[in-house]
């Protein structure tokens, strides 16, 4: 069965061209011309990837992304923001809203296809760590096979990017990772040279796994350098 991609953009020509280009790569395309349609179709169709424009009628892309992250159906679906808004503050707003990647227009069609394929592949990879992890006497568990995270036994919904960043950090407790190292280790390539996107992803992960994100117990900031994981891997058999 072909993987499904939802494209949300109020520009008819962009919808047509991007949709046609990705159809030629074997993807099934779902089109939405505004934010409300995007939210509704994402819920009903459960796409494998969502591509969002920022400037859309009735709801902008940031609002759409926040709603999608609150919906259990799409809370962990990869989201690519594809927009002409290229300022740093625009990118920060996108990552804060929960997007996995932010790409600015214009872009060569071949590069867009390559980015889409990379996101799809990254979201399916289950080899982030050498195995599933149990941390701090089972307080936090990370299952690299099912791509699931649990805190106190309750599931935690992370995006694919958030999962990979947490997994990389947790697999090496105490090691300090620079932002560039996290981009390369967790994501596999440079995010258009924008390493500060890691800060927004870390903020979102903390909101989901920490009791008090302002005084995190798991992910510590090493000022002027990057981040490290402060938990301890349990000495036990692999999960499951």
List C-alpha distances in Å: 209 to 98, 187, 206, 215, 230.
Answer: 15, 20, 5, 12, 13
pLDDT of residue 226: 92
CATH number of 133-229: 1.10.10.10
With both helix axes pointing from N to C terminus, report the angle between 88-97 and 61-70 in degrees, rounded to the nearest 10: 20
Burial class of residue 6, CB neighbours in 10 A (0-12, 13-18, 19+)? buried
Under the banding of pLDDT at 50, 70 and 90, the label for residue 211 is very high
CB–CB of 61/34 below 8 Å?
no
Instruction: Kindly report, residue by residue over 117-169, the tens digit of the pLDDT.
Output: 888 877 765 444 446 788 888 899 988 777 789 999 899 988 888 888 998 89
Is pLDDT at 37 greater than 50 in this prediction?
A: yes
The class (CATH top level) of 4-124 is alpha beta
Q: Where in the chain is the domain with CATH 3.40.50.2300?
A: 4-124
- Provide mean pLDDT across the span 198-220: 92
- Residue 28: name the closest of 8, 54, 1, 4 by CA: 4
Q: What percent of the chain has pLDDT over 90?
A: 45
Under the banding of pLDDT at 50, 70 and 90, the label for residue 190 is very low
Indicate the range of 47-61, 103-117, 125-139, 202-216 predicted with least confidence: 125-139
CB–CB of 35/56 below 8 Å?
yes
Q: Where in the chain is the domain with CATH 1.10.10.10?
A: 133-229
């Amino acid at each position: 069965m072909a993987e499904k991609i939802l494209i949300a953009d109020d520009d008819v020509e962009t919808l047509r061209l991007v949709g046609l280009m990705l159809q030629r790569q074997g993807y099934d395309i779902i089109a939405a011309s505004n934010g409300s349609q995007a939210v509704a179709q994402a819920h009903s169709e459960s796409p494998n990837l969502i591509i969002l424009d920022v400037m859309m009628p009735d709801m902008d892309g940031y609002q759409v992304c926040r709603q999608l992250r609150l919906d259990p159906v799409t809370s962990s679906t990869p989201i690519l923001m594809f927009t002409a808004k290229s300022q740093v503050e625009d990118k920060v707003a996108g990552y804060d809203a929960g997007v996995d990647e932010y790409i600015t227009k214009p872009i060569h069609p071949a590069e867009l296809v390559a980015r889409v394929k990379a996101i799809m592949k990254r979201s399916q990879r289950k080899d982030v760590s050498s195995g599933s992890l149990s941390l701090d006497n089972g307080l936090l568990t990370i299952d690299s096979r099912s791509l699931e995270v649990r805190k106190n036994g309750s599931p935690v919904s992370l995006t694919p990017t958030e999962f990979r960043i947490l997994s990389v950090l947790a697999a090496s407790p105490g090691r300090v990772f620079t932002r560039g190292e996290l981009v390369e280790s967790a994501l596999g390539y440079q995010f258009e040279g924008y390493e500060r996107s890691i800060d927004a992803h870390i903020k979102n992960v903390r909101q989901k796994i920490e009791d008090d994100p302002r005084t995190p117990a798991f992910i510590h900031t090493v000022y002027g350098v990057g981040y490290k994981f402060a938990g301890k891997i349990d000495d036990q058999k692999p999960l499951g």
